[in-house]
Every structure is written in C-alpha cells, then in structure tokens.
Structure 1
Amino acid sequence: MSKLVVSAFMTLDGITQAPGGPDEDREGGFAHGGWSVPYADEDMGRIMVEQFAGMESLLLGRRTYEIFAAHWPRITDENDPVATKLNAMPKYVASRTLDQVEWNNAHLLRGDARGNVAEAVAGLKQRSGGEINVQGSSNLIRTLQQHDLVDAYRLLIEPVVLGTGKRLFAEGTVPAAMKLAAVQQTGSGVLYCTYERAGKPEYGSFELEDYPEKVREMKMVDEGTSP
C-alpha cells in the first residue's frame, strides 16, 4: 500500500495559494502570487531534489497538472534531477474536464459518477507501492483531507504572513493528530517540516476544580518545600 504525502509551500498563516508566480492562481482576487520566490536558495533546491528523489508517483489536480506539463517536458537536461524524475515517473491527474493527458507516463484518474475522486485515490493507494506525492492541487488536497486519505505532510513554512488566500487546512478537514518526524532550516529562514499521522487527536483541560489549592501546592514544590 502506498503512502500519500502532501508537499506544500506555506506561509506562517497557512496560505498555500500561488507560491510560484503572480498568474499561478488568481482565484478569489488573490494578489500575492509568487510570495515563495524570494526565499528560494541553495538549501531549498537541495530539499526539493531530495523530496522528488523519494517519490514513486505524483498525484495532481487539473490546474497544477497543466502548469507542470507546460514547463517540465521542455527541460531535457539529463543533469537536472528534478526534471528527469518528473518527466519519467508515473503521474496521476484527477480531473472531471480533461479528456486526455499527453505528458509522458501521465494517466487520468476518474472519480465516481458524482465526480468524487476520493474512491479512485483510495484504490490507487491500495494497488500502488512507495510514496504518492501531491504538489499544489489545492482543491484535490481538500477532497483528500475530507476523506482522511493524507498520511503525511512535507511543509516548507516561509516567514511571511499574507492574511488572505487558500489555506492548506480548510473547513471540513478530518481531525487528526500529527507528529513532527523531521525539521530543517534553510539559510533564508524557511522551516522544512515533515509531519506524519499519529492517530486521532486527544483532548484535555487546563481547568482546575480547586484552583487556589493547586496553585499553592505548585508554589511549594517550586520553592522546595512539602505541602
């Protein structure tokens, strides 16, 4: 069974919309496209190479597929590890509107009669191996989250706040506990964090029924005396 991993560039306030350029995604009047570009450096480049090297296949929504397919097939340098991997690896495209996909080793992933692709992705996870990685594809990611299909997140968290735009975790995401499996910092101040599923959220309370007594006991312990 495959592990489904979402990779994303993300602002401190959770925005993932249009990190790579002004015209990448203007939906909703978004005017901050390209916010990730100033933080690109050698460290980020190395991280991206490592990230793509570990993928077995790629899962994309229509918009991200069209952006990728218009760019990466034109990069034919055999010394470019990202282009070489992307152009060769299996790519699955979730779309209700495309009739065909022409990028090498790309395949249309059809949903059910209602256009729901979740069942098709669940089937893909069952019959595939290794890591299925999702890039961009905000609408697709929302569907995957609503059906509890995401196993891990690899987030490049960048030191910028935008206040508006599409967020990674939207309303309807199935609650899940996560654990921080790895973290790196780039020279430009980006945190590269890997979060993996850790079951369901647990809950508690900081309310103290006998608050004054508890405070007194904690103060005495702090002072090295016994209650």
Structure 2
Amino acid sequence: DELLFMVVHQASELWFKAILHELEELVARMEGKNALGALYTVGRLNALTRIVTAQLSALDTLPPQHFAQFRGFLGSSSGSQSAQFRAIEAASGLREPHFLNAISEHGEPPEIVRKWIARPTLQNLLDGMISDAGTTYEELYSGPGPGALVLLAEGLLEYEQSFSLWRFLHVQLVERIIGPGTGGTGGTLGAKYLQRTISTRFFPRLWEVRAKFFGAAKK
C-alpha cells in the first residue's frame, strides 16, 4: 500500500513537470499570437491532464486503516501542496485570495510559483489574441465556422474542465481514505482547499459568452 501511494505520488510529480513544460510552450505561442501552434499545444496539455487524473483511481484501492499506518511518515507528500501543482494553478490563472493564502500557508511561496504569478494568465493572453484579431467573444462564437481561435478557446475550456475533474476526484479520494474534515497530508488544508477551488474558473469569459447567447434568445 505504501509503495503504491509513493509510486502514484512520484508519477504525478513527473506528469506535473510535463504539464508545466507544455504550459510554458502554450504561453509562448499565445504571446506570439500563434493560434494554430497554441491549439496543438493545448491538445497535448489536455492529454497529459487526463493521464494524471486517470492514475488517481489506483489509490481507490487503498484501505484507510492501512494508510493510517504509514501516513505519519510521508512528511510533505501532499499532491495539493506540491510546488509544481501550485505552479500549474498559478500558470492556469488562479489569483483568488484562497489560493494566495494557501501558497503562503507554510511561508514564502516557492520560486516557481512566484514566477508564474508574475506572468499573464491564460485568460489574459486569450483576451489579447481576440482583441488583436479585431473581434469579441460574442463575434468569435457567432462566426460562420470554427476557426483556429474558436478551437483554441474550446481547447482551453476542455483543459479547465479536465483540471476541475482532477480536483473533484482528488477531493473524493481524500475523503474516502481519511474522511471529511481531516487535515491533509503534510499539515495542509487538504480536501477543504480543493473543494474551494473546484468552482474557480480559469476562463470566466468563455463561460460568460455562453450565458449571453441564451440571454439574447430570451429577448
């Protein structure tokens, strides 16, 4: 059981590293207004996010009484406390107070997290690409066909949904093993933090534009 937990944890860190690499590439291509290149990169990003989500199911086989026997020896081995995981959240666009409080929970945030916080969010970069194209979100989705920008926007929305699914399944896993209300491994906020971030939007304007279409239909 302990070996399984450590393998999943270490494998997750490797996938987080790959996801951060693709986020770097995605940001560079979006800053360069390369919609087709960004579309290719977000496709790979989504594939990696699905992988890191799928492997959580292996820990569903971990009995709580067995986990309790070695939990105290894990130190800071917490998925949600991982510096790379926090960097992914920052790179994706989290700037909410609960996120900023969480990354400072045990002192100054890691350098990799501070670096991403100082950079534009993916939402900001998408805003810039749409503005430079001389259009708006409503016009983009009202066009004659799904061009590169629309496909990129939908790919980014898929990424947000995949990441939210990872959070949700992680919450379910944590509560299944250690119960609701128990602090996370490594002295973290555990499932409580993940629950608060499930509803956080990386791309609020991509959700808002959908509501506008239905609002217009009622008039």
* TM-score between both structures, scaled by the size of structure 2: 0.25
More helix per residue: 1 or 2? 2
Where is the strand percentage greater, Structure 1 or Structure 2? 1
- Structure index of larger Rg: 1
